[in-house]
Amino acid sequence: MTGSPMASSILKMPLQISLRHLLLFQLMVLGAFGQDWSVKYTQTRKCALKGSTVYMSSDYRYPSHLEVVKRFWAINPAKNVEPVDLTTDPEYSGRTEYFEGGNKLFYLKLMNVTERDEHMYCIRITTNIESQRYLFYPGVTLNVTGLRVESPERVSEGNTTRLTCWTTCPLPDRPTYIWYKNGRCVDRNDKETNVLSLRPTRIEDTGSYSCAVRGYEGLPSPAVVLSVRYSPKNISVSISPSGEIVEGSSVTLTCSCNANPPADEYSWFKQKQFLGKGKDYTISNISSEDGGEYKCKTSNAEGQRYSSSVMLNVVVGPTMVHHAVIAIIVSCTIIFFAVSMVFLRRKKMCCWSQDRTAKQENIYSNMAVQTPTNSAPLSNTGPVYQDENQYASIAHHDDGSSASASGAFEEVQYASVQHRRDKVVKKALEEENVPYASVSFNRSPRPAEMLDDPSVIYSTVK
């Protein structure tokens, strides 16, 4: 019985009736309400850069027999709590705008976002029927991120260094990253990644680095200082005091270098012999045996290096013999100069005396004195100024015939007679223009008493 066709047809009848009833119920519901509520957010999660402007949008549907009275965006809706319009919220007023775009999209524009804006944003719609209000939940979750530069803890010269510009959430639209060093843009080939590669790393790469997203250059990340470590460089040795090093003196050698981190160990060597440690090496009471080549070795956590060798020349100092020789030379030099000064002074005085004598001889007038031919005494034709007389040479010439009779006259020798005049008489004589004259006295035979006549005098006549 169960296997007959009649039995199978009887079993199929209730199933067909139930499917028909279900289709009929759906048609009845659609006819009564016309259209159901629906919403579609463009993005359910949003990542925005701190300080930037973010946009959220949604496409919603509602029954055609209803009329929309108000629509707005709200945050963090709670059950049985009426949401608050963001434009009336004190924390959002002035930073939010609503507008409608194509395809019936309803937009929220939120400006200058911060971490405090990280919430869920939903659309709320009210209609002309109080009971017909709708909150489209869940909405759009907003995350706000800043930019941050990450660098290795230790950066050494010669290695490859990677700097990364990090965000806490993925920014949309594949952003382009820009890198800055000390405030200046860094040129690089790969600008679409958030990584800056330094290979190989150089000392010149030391500096302050930051990153930004193109279009938001005014919102860079905080700067990170990159310090490149390197072993000692530019090692030099200085000698103090500089110049000639005399035996018995004290000398200090100083080692200097550039290193990061600074050199923490200094070692001194003479040729290959180790002398000691320290930035300075002092030799007291130096001797000729201390002369030679010196160098230092510096080291830090990055490595070690030697300086170039410097030559230390020690000069033997002066002995007692040297001091005695120097003293003798100085004494002889002083005596020589003293004798030279005395000789020059005497020579100068002698020349001055000869010059003065020559000048005096030039102003002397030679007067030849002879015995007058008559017995009358000679007298001056003009006034006599005894003070105006200059040096004069008086000569007596005797005739041979009267030699015996003029014995008294021959007692008179050559003499220089000097008469000084004062300035007043000199002026008067200059005005009179009376020149000197040479007067000759000729001796003629006279009685002896005439020769002894005291009235006969010799004088200078002007």
What is the SS3 assignment for 290? helix
**Domain coordinates in residue numbering, the chain:** 38-144, 148-226, 235-315, 320-355, 365-451
CATH homologous superfamily for the domain 235-315: Immunoglobulins (2.60.40.10)
pLDDT, tens only, 261-294: 999 999 999 988 999 999 999 999 999 889 899 9
pLDDT score, position 28: 35
- 445 pLDDT band (50/70/90 cuts)? very low
- The residues, any chain, with a CB within 8 Å of residue 249's CB and separated by 6 or more, are 241, 285, 286
pLDDT score, position 434: 44
pLDDT, tens only, 24-78: 333 333 333 445 788 889 999 999 999 999 999 998 888 888 888 888 999 998 8
- 109 pLDDT band (50/70/90 cuts)? very high
Which value, to the nearest 10 degrees, does the dihedral of the CA atoms of residues 8, 13, 16, 20 take? 170
Reading the block at residue 175, the tokens are 């952003």
pLDDT score, position 2: 39
Asked if the model's pLDDT at residue 14 lies above 50, the reply is no
pLDDT, tens only, 395-435: 444 444 433 333 433 444 444 444 444 444 344 444 444 44
Alpha helices (runs of H) in 134-240, residue ranges in sequence order:
none
Reading the block at residue 237, the tokens are 């040795």
CB neighbourhood size of 297 (10 A): 19
- The residues, any chain, with a CB within 8 Å of residue 148's CB and separated by 6 or more, are 165, 166, 167, 221, 222
Architecture of the 148-226 domain: Sandwich (2.60)
Asked if the model's pLDDT at residue 99 lies above 80, the reply is yes
pTM over 0.75: no
Asked if the model's pLDDT at residue 461 lies above 90, the reply is no
The whole-chain average pLDDT of the chain stands at 75
- 15 pLDDT band (50/70/90 cuts)? very low
Q: Which fold has domain 38-144?
A: Immunoglobulin-like (2.60.40)
d(CA 392, CA 409): 19
Reading the block at residue 87, the tokens are 């434009």
pLDDT, tens only, 161-205: 999 999 999 998 888 999 999 999 998 766 668 999 998 999 999
pLDDT score, position 35: 59
- 80 pLDDT band (50/70/90 cuts)? confident
- 353 pLDDT band (50/70/90 cuts)? low
pLDDT, tens only, 304-336: 999 999 998 888 766 544 566 677 888 888 888
pLDDT score, position 192: 67
Cross-sheet strand order for the sheet of 392-396 = 365-369, 392-396, 415-417
pLDDT, tens only, 206-238: 999 999 999 999 999 999 999 999 999 999 999
Percent of the chain with pLDDT over 90: 42
Rounded CA Rg of the chain: 67
Instruction: Summarize the chain as % helix, strand, coil (round to 5).
Output: 25, 35, 40
